[in-house]
Structure 1
Amino acid sequence: MNPRLYAYLSYADAPGALRWFSDLGFTIVSRQDGEAGQVVHSEVRLGDVVLMISSNDAAYSISPLIGRSTGRGLYLFVDDVDAYFDRALTAGAMSVFAPEATEWGTRRARVLDPEGNEWSFGTYEPGSAW
Protein backbone atom coordinates (compact mmCIF):
# COMPACT_ATOMS: atom_id res chain seq x y z
CA MET A 1 0.00 0.00 0.00
CA ASN A 2 1.19 3.51 -0.79
CA PRO A 3 0.96 5.87 2.19
CA ARG A 4 -1.41 8.81 1.74
CA LEU A 5 -1.72 11.99 3.76
CA TYR A 6 -5.10 13.46 4.66
CA ALA A 7 -5.47 16.64 6.68
CA TYR A 8 -8.10 17.14 9.34
CA LEU A 9 -9.18 20.48 10.74
CA SER A 10 -11.55 21.38 13.52
CA TYR A 11 -13.47 24.63 13.76
CA ALA A 12 -15.44 26.42 16.47
CA ASP A 13 -18.10 26.95 13.78
CA ALA A 14 -17.74 23.80 11.69
CA PRO A 15 -21.03 24.35 9.81
CA GLY A 16 -19.73 27.81 8.85
CA ALA A 17 -16.39 26.31 7.82
CA LEU A 18 -18.21 23.82 5.59
CA ARG A 19 -20.03 26.73 3.92
CA TRP A 20 -16.63 28.42 3.38
CA PHE A 21 -15.21 25.26 1.79
CA SER A 22 -18.30 24.95 -0.43
CA ASP A 23 -17.94 28.57 -1.53
CA LEU A 24 -14.29 27.85 -2.33
CA GLY A 25 -15.36 25.01 -4.64
CA PHE A 26 -15.13 21.94 -2.40
CA THR A 27 -17.96 19.38 -2.37
CA ILE A 28 -19.18 18.01 0.95
CA VAL A 29 -19.07 14.25 0.41
CA SER A 30 -20.03 13.14 3.92
CA ARG A 31 -21.27 14.76 7.10
CA GLN A 32 -22.18 13.34 10.48
CA ASP A 33 -23.81 15.80 12.87
CA GLY A 34 -23.93 15.42 16.62
CA GLU A 35 -25.67 17.27 19.41
CA ALA A 36 -26.35 21.02 19.32
CA GLY A 37 -25.25 21.47 15.72
CA GLN A 38 -21.78 19.95 16.23
CA VAL A 39 -20.14 18.33 13.22
CA VAL A 40 -18.72 15.04 14.49
CA HIS A 41 -17.06 14.23 11.16
CA SER A 42 -17.27 15.47 7.60
CA GLU A 43 -15.24 15.16 4.45
CA VAL A 44 -14.86 17.70 1.67
CA ARG A 45 -13.34 17.09 -1.73
CA LEU A 46 -11.86 19.22 -4.50
CA GLY A 47 -10.40 17.07 -7.26
CA ASP A 48 -7.98 14.68 -5.55
CA VAL A 49 -7.91 16.77 -2.34
CA VAL A 50 -9.83 15.37 0.62
CA LEU A 51 -10.04 17.15 3.99
CA MET A 52 -11.75 15.97 7.14
CA ILE A 53 -13.62 18.72 9.03
CA SER A 54 -15.20 18.60 12.49
CA SER A 55 -16.30 20.83 15.33
CA ASN A 56 -13.73 21.74 17.98
CA ASP A 57 -13.80 19.49 21.03
CA ALA A 58 -11.77 22.01 23.09
CA ALA A 59 -10.87 25.71 23.08
CA TYR A 60 -7.95 25.45 20.67
CA SER A 61 -5.62 28.35 19.89
CA ILE A 62 -4.78 29.35 16.33
CA SER A 63 -1.24 30.50 15.64
CA PRO A 64 -1.20 34.29 15.19
CA LEU A 65 -0.27 35.95 11.93
CA ILE A 66 3.26 37.37 12.20
CA GLY A 67 4.24 39.21 9.06
CA ARG A 68 3.07 37.06 6.16
CA SER A 69 2.54 33.74 7.95
CA THR A 70 1.24 31.94 11.01
CA GLY A 71 4.11 29.48 10.66
CA ARG A 72 1.79 26.68 9.59
CA GLY A 73 -0.96 26.20 7.07
CA LEU A 74 -2.25 24.31 4.09
CA TYR A 75 -1.07 24.79 0.52
CA LEU A 76 -3.54 24.21 -2.30
CA PHE A 77 -1.96 23.60 -5.71
CA VAL A 78 -4.24 25.26 -8.30
CA ASP A 79 -4.03 26.44 -11.88
CA ASP A 80 -5.71 29.81 -11.23
CA VAL A 81 -4.38 31.45 -8.06
CA ASP A 82 -6.32 34.66 -8.69
CA ALA A 83 -9.67 32.87 -8.95
CA TYR A 84 -9.16 30.89 -5.72
CA PHE A 85 -7.91 33.98 -3.90
CA ASP A 86 -11.00 35.94 -5.02
CA ARG A 87 -13.34 33.07 -4.07
CA ALA A 88 -11.74 32.80 -0.63
CA LEU A 89 -12.12 36.53 0.04
CA THR A 90 -15.72 36.57 -1.18
CA ALA A 91 -16.46 33.65 1.16
CA GLY A 92 -15.06 35.54 4.18
CA ALA A 93 -11.30 34.96 4.25
CA MET A 94 -8.81 37.71 5.14
CA SER A 95 -6.05 38.53 2.67
CA VAL A 96 -2.50 37.97 3.89
CA PHE A 97 -1.00 38.76 0.50
CA ALA A 98 -2.58 39.12 -2.92
CA PRO A 99 -1.58 36.94 -5.87
CA GLU A 100 2.04 37.53 -6.79
CA ALA A 101 4.74 36.15 -9.04
CA THR A 102 7.56 34.30 -7.30
CA GLU A 103 11.25 34.45 -8.10
CA TRP A 104 11.12 30.82 -9.29
CA GLY A 105 8.47 31.43 -11.95
CA THR A 106 5.27 30.42 -10.18
CA ARG A 107 2.34 32.32 -8.71
CA ARG A 108 1.03 32.34 -5.13
CA ALA A 109 -1.33 34.05 -2.68
CA ARG A 110 -2.23 33.60 0.99
CA VAL A 111 -5.36 34.08 3.10
CA LEU A 112 -6.62 33.30 6.58
CA ASP A 113 -9.91 31.44 6.55
CA PRO A 114 -12.77 32.86 8.69
CA GLU A 115 -11.30 31.24 11.83
CA GLY A 116 -7.69 32.26 11.15
CA ASN A 117 -6.24 29.11 9.58
CA GLU A 118 -3.60 29.87 6.95
CA TRP A 119 -4.24 28.84 3.34
CA SER A 120 -1.82 29.36 0.46
CA PHE A 121 -2.81 28.95 -3.17
CA GLY A 122 -0.06 28.38 -5.69
CA THR A 123 1.00 27.08 -9.05
CA TYR A 124 4.11 25.34 -7.70
CA GLU A 125 3.46 21.62 -7.38
CA PRO A 126 5.50 20.14 -4.54
CA GLY A 127 7.70 17.31 -5.74
CA SER A 128 8.14 18.84 -9.18
CA ALA A 129 11.37 20.36 -10.45
CA TRP A 130 11.66 24.12 -10.21
Structure 2
Amino acid sequence: MASAPTGPPTLYPTLLYRDAKAAIKQLTEAFGFTAAAVYESEGGTVLHAELTYGNGMVMLGSRGRKGVFAEAMAEGGPTGVYVVVEDTDAHHRRAVEHGVEILMPPTDQDYGSRDYLAKDAEGNVWSFGTYAPFGAGR
Protein backbone atom coordinates (compact mmCIF):
# COMPACT_ATOMS: atom_id res chain seq x y z
CA MET A 1 0.00 0.00 0.00
CA ALA A 2 1.36 3.42 -0.95
CA SER A 3 2.02 5.93 1.80
CA ALA A 4 -0.09 9.06 2.13
CA PRO A 5 1.18 12.06 0.17
CA THR A 6 3.18 14.63 2.10
CA GLY A 7 3.61 18.30 1.41
CA PRO A 8 1.54 20.40 -0.96
CA PRO A 9 -0.39 18.76 -3.81
CA THR A 10 1.21 18.46 -7.24
CA LEU A 11 -2.07 18.11 -9.19
CA TYR A 12 -4.40 21.09 -9.71
CA PRO A 13 -7.60 20.43 -11.67
CA THR A 14 -8.31 23.43 -13.90
CA LEU A 15 -11.84 24.26 -15.05
CA LEU A 16 -13.40 26.92 -17.25
CA TYR A 17 -16.94 28.17 -16.69
CA ARG A 18 -19.37 30.30 -18.69
CA ASP A 19 -20.10 32.15 -15.42
CA ALA A 20 -16.98 31.78 -13.27
CA LYS A 21 -18.29 34.17 -10.60
CA ALA A 22 -21.38 31.99 -10.10
CA ALA A 23 -19.14 28.89 -10.01
CA ILE A 24 -16.95 30.45 -7.32
CA LYS A 25 -20.02 31.39 -5.32
CA GLN A 26 -21.43 27.86 -5.54
CA LEU A 27 -18.11 26.14 -4.82
CA THR A 28 -17.44 28.33 -1.78
CA GLU A 29 -20.95 28.55 -0.42
CA ALA A 30 -22.43 25.16 -1.27
CA PHE A 31 -19.33 22.97 -1.17
CA GLY A 32 -17.13 24.69 1.40
CA PHE A 33 -14.19 25.72 -0.80
CA THR A 34 -12.18 28.79 0.21
CA ALA A 35 -11.32 31.41 -2.41
CA ALA A 36 -7.56 31.77 -1.92
CA ALA A 37 -7.12 34.07 -4.93
CA VAL A 38 -9.39 35.59 -7.57
CA TYR A 39 -7.96 37.70 -10.39
CA GLU A 40 -10.38 39.63 -12.59
CA SER A 41 -10.00 41.74 -15.72
CA GLU A 42 -10.97 45.41 -15.61
CA GLY A 43 -14.33 44.32 -17.06
CA GLY A 44 -14.93 41.84 -14.24
CA THR A 45 -14.15 38.62 -16.11
CA VAL A 46 -12.52 36.02 -13.85
CA LEU A 47 -9.09 35.48 -15.39
CA HIS A 48 -7.83 33.05 -12.75
CA ALA A 49 -9.05 31.83 -9.38
CA GLU A 50 -7.60 29.41 -6.85
CA LEU A 51 -10.07 27.66 -4.57
CA THR A 52 -8.80 25.46 -1.77
CA TYR A 53 -10.40 22.60 0.04
CA GLY A 54 -8.30 20.84 2.68
CA ASN A 55 -4.88 20.19 1.17
CA GLY A 56 -6.23 20.43 -2.39
CA MET A 57 -6.92 23.18 -4.82
CA VAL A 58 -8.87 23.72 -8.02
CA MET A 59 -7.93 26.52 -10.41
CA LEU A 60 -10.64 28.03 -12.57
CA GLY A 61 -11.40 30.85 -14.96
CA SER A 62 -13.90 32.16 -17.47
CA ARG A 63 -14.63 30.57 -20.84
CA GLY A 64 -14.31 32.62 -24.02
CA ARG A 65 -10.96 34.26 -23.33
CA LYS A 66 -7.98 34.31 -25.68
CA GLY A 67 -4.73 32.39 -25.27
CA VAL A 68 -3.39 28.90 -25.87
CA PHE A 69 -5.03 27.29 -22.83
CA ALA A 70 -8.45 28.93 -23.30
CA GLU A 71 -8.46 28.13 -27.01
CA ALA A 72 -7.38 24.51 -26.40
CA MET A 73 -10.11 24.07 -23.79
CA ALA A 74 -12.77 25.52 -26.11
CA GLU A 75 -12.83 22.27 -28.06
CA GLY A 76 -10.85 20.08 -25.67
CA GLY A 77 -12.06 17.40 -23.35
CA PRO A 78 -14.21 17.95 -20.31
CA THR A 79 -11.37 19.23 -18.13
CA GLY A 80 -7.79 20.42 -17.87
CA VAL A 81 -5.29 19.43 -15.19
CA TYR A 82 -2.15 21.24 -14.08
CA VAL A 83 0.67 19.04 -12.81
CA VAL A 84 3.73 20.39 -11.00
CA VAL A 85 6.95 18.90 -12.37
CA GLU A 86 10.57 19.49 -11.38
CA ASP A 87 12.00 19.72 -14.91
CA THR A 88 9.55 21.02 -17.51
CA ASP A 89 11.90 20.50 -20.45
CA ALA A 90 12.73 16.87 -19.57
CA HIS A 91 9.05 16.13 -19.02
CA HIS A 92 8.21 17.72 -22.39
CA ARG A 93 10.89 15.66 -24.16
CA ARG A 94 9.41 12.46 -22.77
CA ALA A 95 5.91 13.45 -23.94
CA VAL A 96 7.21 14.25 -27.43
CA GLU A 97 9.03 10.91 -27.55
CA HIS A 98 5.70 9.19 -26.89
CA GLY A 99 3.88 11.07 -29.65
CA VAL A 100 1.80 13.35 -27.45
CA GLU A 101 0.15 16.32 -29.20
CA ILE A 102 1.89 19.44 -27.87
CA LEU A 103 -0.21 22.61 -27.81
CA MET A 104 2.50 24.92 -26.43
CA PRO A 105 6.20 24.10 -26.02
CA PRO A 106 7.99 24.86 -22.72
CA THR A 107 7.50 28.58 -22.16
CA ASP A 108 8.65 30.89 -19.36
CA GLN A 109 5.63 32.64 -17.83
CA ASP A 110 5.44 36.16 -16.38
CA TYR A 111 4.56 34.70 -12.95
CA GLY A 112 7.82 32.73 -12.74
CA SER A 113 6.75 29.31 -13.99
CA ARG A 114 7.97 27.33 -16.97
CA ASP A 115 5.03 25.45 -18.52
CA TYR A 116 3.99 23.45 -21.56
CA LEU A 117 0.56 22.32 -22.74
CA ALA A 118 -0.40 18.97 -24.22
CA LYS A 119 -3.57 17.18 -25.26
CA ASP A 120 -4.21 13.54 -24.39
CA ALA A 121 -5.83 10.96 -26.68
CA GLU A 122 -9.32 11.87 -25.41
CA GLY A 123 -8.84 15.60 -25.88
CA ASN A 124 -8.18 16.55 -22.25
CA VAL A 125 -5.73 19.42 -21.85
CA TRP A 126 -2.75 18.87 -19.56
CA SER A 127 -0.49 21.64 -18.30
CA PHE A 128 2.89 20.69 -16.86
CA GLY A 129 5.17 23.18 -15.20
CA THR A 130 6.98 24.53 -12.20
CA TYR A 131 4.23 26.80 -10.81
CA ALA A 132 3.21 25.64 -7.33
CA PRO A 133 0.53 27.85 -5.73
CA PHE A 134 1.35 26.62 -2.21
CA GLY A 135 5.07 27.28 -2.71
CA ALA A 136 6.16 23.68 -3.33
CA GLY A 137 9.56 23.40 -4.91
CA ARG A 138 10.41 27.05 -4.26
Q: TM-score range by the shorter chain?
A: 0.3 to 0.5
TM-score, length of structure 2 as denominator length: 0.41
